[in-house]
Amino acid sequence: MSDIIQLLPDHVANQIAAGEVVQRPASVVKELLENAIDAGATNIKLLLKDAGKTLIQVIDDGKGMSATDARMSFERHATSKIQKAEDLFNLCTKGFRGEALASIAAISHVELKTKQENEELGTCLKIEGSKIVAQDFISTSKGTSMAVKNLFYNIPARRNFLKSDTVETRHIIDEFQRVALAHPTISFLLHHNNNEVYHLKGSNLRKRIVAIFGIKMNEKLVPINEQTDIVTINGFIAKPEFSKRKRGEQFFFVNDRFIKSSYLNHAVVNAFDGLLEQGSHPSYFLYLQVPTNSIDINIHPTKTEIKFDNEKALYAMLRATVKHSLGQYNVAPVLDFNRDASLDTSYHSNKNASTTSTPKIHVDPDFNPFKETTQKEISYPYRKEQNTQSWESLYTSVAISDEEKQEELFEHQQEIKTQKTFQIQRKYLMSSIKSGVVLINQTLAHQRILYEEFLESITVKEANSQQLLFPVKISFSSQEIEMIYTMKSELENAGFSFDEFTKDSVTIKGIPVSVIESKITIILEELLNDINFEVPDASFSHFDVMAKSFAKTLSIKTGTQLSVKEQEGLVHDLFSCKDPSVSPFGKATFKTLTLNEIDHLFKS
């Protein structure tokens, strides 16, 4: 029998490795930006076309590479970061496996230009599908320019799995923000389809956060600063009143590397205990510095998960540090033992202060409680004489009010007798039908009603809009403003009316009739979150996600008390829908219970 096990060719092995390293264009962006940082760059440019599908180019002013290093960098497991296994536990750089460039070159067209500072000429290298097609000496500036074109050109199945440009751009921006936040002293520039998205100058951490998330972020931040033997914690947390419904602005950095940790996140949330509304999440930008030999960052391909030697101690310190800052900056109530004595009121009046007169008591010396007097002769020095001439009108008004109460009570009793719908625990509605009863989830039912109304307004007919007396100006980050602007026509069809767009704000002068002014910001924030992670390619589905987002945000929530008329109106509107049985998100809106099923419950 012949042997069947054989070595894979390098280009096949690289394509397999690429499936682990390169999941989408954002993965390439992350690897190239981290390489630029490891090269000591102070200025980094990221250029994109078609959400990275056509072009991803990173240009830096780092130390560059020699001609030999340029070629070696695309070999599998070739790296300058480590030399022996023990180095894995003393890492101070971003990349170290030596797989990234080899994997990227296996599934794209790569053009590398690089030059070291002391060299007269640089090197240009062109690779297609792991094969080097050209290598020349060129005149170029110090540093490295890496252009990745036509990603997944030789794996069309993987390219078909990519989402819309909007979603892929969102993932790229997420990676860009993480790298930019980890290194605030480095200047970053991001262009997408020749449009400038970010121009971040080297600065401090607070300025970098504000530059990315908008000027309004500055007033939300509370500084964090704590130093111990095992960890140094710096950064900012957002005040509780600025918490969000989604886990968006939550960043952990360990030794300048972005990580995800549900364990440490729980410590921060625990520190906000009692300060957040139910379902809200705090925003934070926390930087932890720990000894390199106390962590293992080689447990996940994307290096976003880290194993700590002393997780419990870190948890306790992080929770205590956040709690201390909340109290120190008067964000949370604390016991104040250092009271300012100058604010206390003295029991003794100041000598220079004006003297106050002693209250005088007036006594009637002729008053005799045992003297027989008529009602008219009784006088009360502390009570004004009342006019009792209209006592009949007082009696009449009381009689009328009692009569009205009797009528209201009678009407209420009649309403109870004719009531067909009842609310249970402010969550469900129960209504009788011929075959038994129907139980309706009030939140899901209202979502279905609003969803169909908004979808019809956006796609079929023009929605009614109410003009605001005073236009509302809302601040967003630059990429969020860009997203709102791209959806401007759809939002106007839904009933919104816009006045002005700037780089970090939008002014709204009209809103849909079913929306109240206080919920404008919440609606747009929820919509942006839903669009970021859920919008597919089809244009109609774009409208669909918008209608779903509005319905979810504006629907009646659990705990809302409904009157009998509101209950009946909700039931009527639900069964007037085209598809009343399911919510926009595929959940059942009601369940029926027949008489036979009810009888069966009581059979022994």
Co-location of 226 and 185 in the same domain: no
Single out the residue in 202, 237, 265 at which a domain terminates: 202
* pLDDT digits 0-9 by tens, 252-285: 999 888 988 888 999 999 999 888 877 788 999 9
Domain finish residue from 169, 202, 235: 202
| Domain match, 287 and 216 both | yes
Burial class of residue 202, CB neighbours in 10 A (0-12, 13-18, 19+):
middle
Query: Is there a domain that residue 367 lies in?
Result: no
DSSP state of 283: -
Ranges 148-152, 210-214, 453-457, most confident: 148-152
pLDDT at 541 over 80: no
Give domain status of residue 405, yes or no.
no
pLDDT digits (tens, 9 = 90+) for 494-506: 888 888 888 788 9
Residues 453 and 583 in one domain: yes
Q: For the chain, how many structural domains are there in total?
A: 3
Is residue 445 domain-shared with residue 505, that is, in the same domain? yes
At residue 390 the predicted structure's pLDDT band, cuts being 50, 70 and 90, is: low
CATH number at residue 475: 3.30.1370.100
- Work out the average pLDDT over 433-439: 86
- Kindly state whether residues 466 and 504 are assigned to the same domain: yes
Whether 379 maps to a domain, the answer reads no
The per-residue pLDDT for 300 is 61
* Single-letter code of the amino acid located at 175: E
Residue 90: predicted pLDDT: 58
Residue 75 included in any domain: yes
Tell me the pLDDT tens digit for each residue of 154-197.
888 888 888 888 888 889 999 999 999 999 999 999 999 988 88
Residues 190 and 272 in one domain: no
In the prediction, which pLDDT does 208 show? 94
Identify whether 445 is part of a domain: yes
Contacts of 68 (CB under 8 A, 6+ apart): none
Range of weakest confidence among 23-32, 269-278, 365-374 = 365-374
| CATH classification at residue 246 | 3.30.230.10
Q: How confident is the model at residue 351 (pLDDT cuts 50, 70, 90)?
A: very low
Is residue 222 domain-shared with residue 193, that is, in the same domain? no
DSSP 3-state of 135: strand
Give, for 523, the enclosing helix (H) or strand (E). helix 520-534
Question: Does 65 map to a domain?
Answer: yes
CATH code for the domain in which residue 159 is found: 3.30.565.10
Largest distance between two CA atoms of the chain: 134
The model's pLDDT over 448-492, given as tens digits with 9 standing for 90+, comes to: 998 888 888 777 666 677 888 888 888 887 778 888 887 888 788
Taking residues 127-144, report their average pLDDT.
91
pTM above 0.85, yes or no: no
Residues 148, 47: one domain? yes
Task: Specify whether 314 is located in the same domain as 221.
Answer: yes
Structure tokens at 166: 């909007």
Residue % of the chain over a pLDDT of 70: 77
Q: Is residue 376 part of a domain?
A: no
> What one-character-per-residue DSSP string does 390-424 give?
THHHHHHHHHHHHHHHHHHHHHHHHHHHH--EEEE
- The strands making up 436-441's β-sheet, listed across from edge to edge, are 421-424, 428-433, 436-441, 590-594
Asked if 514 and 479 sit in the same domain, the reply is yes
Mean pLDDT of 433-457: 88
Model pLDDT for residues 560-577, shown as the tens digit of each residue: 898 888 888 898 899 889
Q: Is residue 448 part of a domain?
A: yes
Provide mean pLDDT across the span 399-414: 53
Among 202, 232, 253, where does a domain finish? Answer: 202
Higher pLDDT, 228 or 147: 147
pLDDT (mean) for 549-562: 86
- Cβ-contact 474, 524 below 8 angstroms: yes
Shared domain check, 239 and 186: no
* 39 and 153 both lie in a single domain: yes
The boundaries of the domain holding residue 566 are 436-590
